[in-house]
Amino acid sequence: MQLKSFTNWIPPLWRVEYKLKFALSHVGLFDKKAVYTGLKHVFDDDIFIVSYPKSGNTWVRFIIANLISDRDTVSFRNINNYVPDIYLYKDYLNTMKQRPRFIKTHDAGYEFYPKFIYIYRDGRDVAISYYHYLTGRGEFNGTLKEFLNSKPSWGAVGWSSHVSRAIDYAKSHSDQVLLVKYEDLLNNTVKNVKRIADFCQLNVSIENINFAINKSEFHRLKKIEKQYGSEFNHSKNTFFRSGNSGQWKEMFSEEDIQQYLSIADNTLRQLGYLD
């Protein structure tokens, strides 16, 4: 069970109630999926958008939103109308009429999601993106090397565990999971957006797919963010920074590289990031 990782997101006063309900779900008094996610109900057609942080989750959210938005402008002001963040919009999700619901999460409770899209990215690029994100928000103040050596959940340990568990789960639940490699989405966008649309059973034309891709290009998302506001209105930091792959090659020292590989070599190799 993934109890430990999820309870980190729960306020302390709620944890006793949560753990009690989760325990009682084993004897059928509560629905495990609903208790775990904190939602009133988890429907069979719910589709969760899952990733380790800074792996492309928000990009995929914008792509899906642009596929289903009837061509309205999608920004951080209204993205949660289409693909709500489970941590911030539980009340909205509990009253949401849209079906299927598309739900953003970073939590690795794979067995509790009826269907989910899992986005993964080279962990070394993830570390660079996460570092810039947290320093920009004032949640970390230090060098990249200090960042990589700080919380295990921020570096190779957290990334490798999150991703490898998702890949292993997908092997025995292929009809339940769509794996999306960030770099493939970047380099062959049309093919992979079509995969996403097909998995979500969205009856969309190639014209609509191209529209969603166009509206979700990084330079457009950065422009929209500047015009309509960022994810966190109090922050001067922009959410969309670069989106490129291979940035770690310019920022990792040789020592950083070897340290990262000492932890995540097998996972990077399994995913094709190492020869």
For the chain, give every domain's residue range. 1-30, 31-270
Residues 6+ apart with CB under 8 A from 199: 47, 115, 117, 178
Residue 185 tokens read as 């989405």
Q: Does the pLDDT at position 69 exceed 90?
A: yes
Architecture of domain 31-270: 3-Layer(aba) Sandwich (3.40)
User: What is the overall mean pLDDT for the chain?
Assistant: 86
Distances (CA, A) of 248 to 27, 123, 192, 233: 48, 9, 24, 29
| Mean pLDDT along residues 239-244 | 58
Residues 6+ apart with CB under 8 A from 162: 52, 108
Q: What is the phi/psi pair of residue 21, to 5°?
A: -65, -40
Task: Identify the CA nearest to 101 among candidates 57, 45, 51.
Answer: 45
pLDDT tens digits, 101-125? 999 999 999 999 999 999 999 999 9
Strand 47-51 relative to strand 115-120, pairing: parallel
Lowest mean pLDDT among 7-16, 44-53, 164-173, 238-247: 7-16
pTM for this predicted structure:
0.86
| Mean pLDDT along residues 214-228 | 79
Lowest mean pLDDT among 13-22, 86-95, 175-184: 13-22
Lowest mean pLDDT among 2-6, 72-76, 164-168, 262-266: 2-6
